Chain A
């Protein structure tokens, strides 16, 4: 589906949606609290059917953390990007691992490296680092005391 048509459909579905320009796909900015309900809408609306979450990540913007979700539809072949701003001190957002099963691993990765808490996640533990590790390595203010070679 063409980006413009998809955009107008999304506006119809979520009248309060704020769009961001600059990406090759329609990008919606949302409040973290409304993420779960939007995710359900995106998957269940027959004309959209966003069933394939292919990228889930986070960006540390120093003032806040920005969650980025890239979702596509294997039926209609259109893609949407959803972004949510999280509080840097208490980053919290609902899990979508019950909607897209792949999110369970991806959310654990983001928790491990950024410290984002995914509410109601079935098994929120560190994924790559050891359980007793302190700190969130992919945040911009992270200082690695062990690694003396600064790239």
Chain B
């Protein structure tokens, strides 16, 4: 595929972006056909970080395979683990204690915040503003410290297990999260001031990478990518899991369908996540953090599907069980994979410089796409 560099018969230029390019945020390789500066076609080449996680999972037990899923969407590792734990619990028909449910939701929302913070910094950096990247990492550090204390890890947490969570919360958890809420509430307004209302940023983002409502659905887009086009697709609202049904929060949708709408959705989602954490942090019920499950988990023969809302969209886990200790087949429906399929459609007709903004607004995490 590397021979494809050069010019076509029509005189169009073919260039390669990646696999090692800072704005692809990972090892994504794009082959772009250009007419002058205008994009005619974008063809993603995947697989540079393909580890065949689905095949690996077929030989891992139901307790073990969850750890591998942290390595897919590493910015939403809690939520990936959560989806897998939910799927195993669906097969086991086990009711998890209320304390575990609340801890799970708290961790999910903290993860979503951390992921959106990183995206916000990277998005601004993609269009030429370097400072926000450092601002975002400054606040994200506070979340990582909270995670490290409770889960023992900063990136691949592996905290959710079938039946609940692995350990109880660290004694400092509540006070640290409260400190973080106070800190971040002032910072998020700063985010708005610094970037959202910046005219240069607006010009780079508005009317770029338009995705219509119908196309967002047809391309299987989910998460902020689809919600920026007005598609209501928040799994937390549509198919509530854990305690989301009892929580007060809004599903954010914007109707613009361009990069700026997707930006606004994520920024408002940060506020909603913060609001959810505020509701829960003083109301963590006492009790067990894990339901009693057998040491060796065997799911009954059949198939199970669970879905959760990660920072990037709908993450689905499809387990086919033959009744053994390991899954017969497992499929991860990753949000980034479907979102990426819309890239060509969105980028056509725009200038090459806008491609970076479009990719940034999709919030791609490459291991999540390649799996």
Q: Encode A48-86 as 1/0 by CB contact (under 8 A) with B.
A: 000111110101100000001010001001000000000
Q: Encode B29-56 as 1/0 by CB contact (under 8 A) with A.
A: 0000000000000000011001010111
Cβ-based interface call for B215 (8 A): yes
Q: Which residues of A contact B333 (CB under 8 A)?
A: 54-55
Q: Which residues of B contact A100 (CB under 8 A)?
A: 218, 220
Q: Which residues of A contact B54 (CB under 8 A)?
A: 113, 138
Q: Which residues of A contact B59 (CB under 8 A)?
A: 150-151
Q: Is the CB of B329 within 8 A of A105?
A: no
Known A22-B302, A74-B231, A101-B341; judge A54-B56 contact (CB<8 A).
no
Q: Is the CB of A131 within 8 A of B314?
A: no
Q: Which residues of B contact A53 (CB under 8 A)?
A: 220
Report the minimum CB–CB distance from B166 to chain A (whole Å): 22
Which residue of A has the minimal Cβ distance to B222?
A54
Q: Is the CB of A102 within 8 A of B220?
A: yes
Report the minimum CB–CB distance from A151 to chain B (whole Å): 4
Q: Which residues of B contact A106 (CB under 8 A)?
A: 220, 337-338
**Contact size class for B?**
35 or more
Q: Is the CB of B337 within 8 A of A105?
A: yes
Cβ-based interface call for A24 (8 A): yes
Known A51-B218, A100-B220, A128-B370; judge A137-B52 contact (CB<8 A).
yes
Cβ-based interface call for A94 (8 A): no
Q: Which residues of A contact B316 (CB under 8 A)?
A: 54-55, 70
Cβ-based interface call for A127 (8 A): yes
Q: Which residues of A contact B337 (CB under 8 A)?
A: 105-106, 109
Q: Is the CB of B55 within 8 A of A128?
A: no
Cβ-based interface call for B85 (8 A): no
Report the minimum CB–CB distance from B311 to chain A (whole Å): 18
Q: Is the CB of A52 within 8 A of B329?
A: no
Which residue of B has the minimal Cβ distance to A103?
B220
Cβ-based interface call for B238 (8 A): yes
Q: Is the CB of A51 within 8 A of B217?
A: yes
**Contact size class for A?**
20 to 34
Q: Which residues of B contact A74 (CB under 8 A)?
A: 217, 231-233
Interface residues of B in 280-331 (CB under 8 A from A): 302-303, 305, 314, 316, 318, 320, 328-329, 331
Which residue of B has the minimal Cβ distance to A60?
B329
Q: Is the CB of A128 within 8 A of B220?
A: no
Cβ-based interface call for A129 (8 A): yes
Report the minimum CB–CB distance from A51 to chain B (whole Å): 5
Q: Which residues of A contact B60 (CB under 8 A)?
A: 151
Cβ-based interface call for A23 (8 A): yes
Q: Is the CB of B231 within 8 A of A24?
A: no
Q: How far is the CA of A128 from the CA of B331 in the complex (A)?
A: 15
Q: Which residues of A contact B182 (CB under 8 A)?
A: none
Interface residues of A in 12-49 (CB under 8 A from B): 22-24
Indicate the member of B56, B60, B220, B320 with the most A CB atoms within 10 Å. B220
Q: How far is the CA of A57 from the CA of B328 in the complex (A)?
A: 14
Choice from A54, A127, A151 contacting B314 with Cβ under 8 Å: A54
Q: How far is the CA of A106 from the CA of B232 in the complex (A)?
A: 22
Cβ-based interface call for B74 (8 A): no
Which residue of B has the minimal Cβ distance to A127?
B46
Q: Is the CB of B47 within 8 A of A57?
A: no
Q: Encode A102-137 as 1/0 by CB contact (under 8 A) with B.
A: 101110010001000000000000011111000001
**Other A-B pairs beyond A24-B305, A105-B337, A127-B47, 18, CB < 8 Å:** A22-B303, A23-B302, A23-B305, A52-B220, A55-B331, A55-B333, A60-B329, A77-B238, A101-B218, A101-B219, A101-B220, A102-B338, A104-B341, A105-B338, A106-B220, A113-B52, A137-B52, A138-B54
Could you pull out 18 A-B pairs where Cβ atoms are within 8 angstroms?
Answer: A23-B302, A54-B222, A54-B314, A59-B328, A70-B305, A70-B316, A77-B238, A101-B345, A102-B219, A104-B341, A105-B338, A106-B338, A113-B52, A127-B46, A127-B47, A128-B47, A130-B47, A138-B52
6 nearest A-B residue pairs (beta carbon): A102-B220, A128-B47, A128-B50, A151-B59, A105-B341, A57-B331
